[in-house]
Amino acid sequence: MKLVQTELLFEAKQNMLTPEGSESLHNEALTDIANVIIVAISGGAWAAMDEYGKGSLMDMSNPSLQDYINSGLWNSARGSDPTIRSRQRGSYTNIFGEQVESRSNVAGIDLEQKGGKFSPQPPSHAIQTAMRWMKSGRMQNAIRLTIATFPFGSFIVTDKK
């Protein structure tokens, strides 16, 4: 399962569109719940923005988007429009949890037209693609190989009668 997790991480990292998104991804601890081994990968804000895009090109079907919009981190000047817009002058918390200052006098100006760090970005869907690849046979092949080659007999204890 650790091998499968490492392959999943590598595949997702390779298909990210940004180095920040790729570097944000990491393996989670293996867990065993109700005799089921669970492996996971996760990432921070960079990975989320890479996976689902940002600005006017973002994938609005992101299952966590509504929570983000309702969290207070979302720029209220955007309304429900994903276009990157200016904020009212003042202090706010950005997506990374950092306190930053807006120096704009007018909220709601379309900043995507400026380009650079304000450019919209399409979604990579790198994690979703890696998961589909794993589910389409790679995970089953890894389990089959383990069953075929692991010396289970060395770990089975029987009563001698």
Residue with tokens 């919009």: 69
Q: What DSSP character marks residue 113? A: G
Average pLDDT over residues 54-60: 97
DSSP letters for 23-87: HH-EEPPPEEETTEEE--EE--HHHHHHHH-BGGGS-TT-TTHHHHHHTT-S-GGGTT--S-B--
pLDDT for residue 35 is more than 80: no
pLDDT in tens, 133-143: 888 877 788 77
pLDDT band at residue 33 using 50, 70 and 90 as cut-offs: confident
pTM higher than 0.75, yes or no? yes
- Is the predicted pLDDT of residue 66 greater than 90, yes or no? yes
Rounded to whole angstroms, the Cα distance separating 72 from 68 reads 7
User: In this predicted model, what pLDDT tens digit does every residue of 100-151 receive, in sequence order?
Assistant: 999 999 999 999 999 999 999 999 999 999 999 888 877 788 778 878 888 8
What are the pLDDT digits (tens) for 71-98? 989 999 998 899 999 999 999 999 999 9
- Work out the angle between the directed axes of helices 126-133 and 45-52 (0-180°, nearest 10): 80
| CA–CA dist 88, 92 (Å, integer) | 10
**How far is Cα of residue 19 from the mean position of the Cα atoms in its chain?**
13
Q: CA-to-CA distance for 1 and 7, rounded, in angstroms?
A: 10
**pLDDT bucket at 34, cuts 50 / 70 / 90:** confident
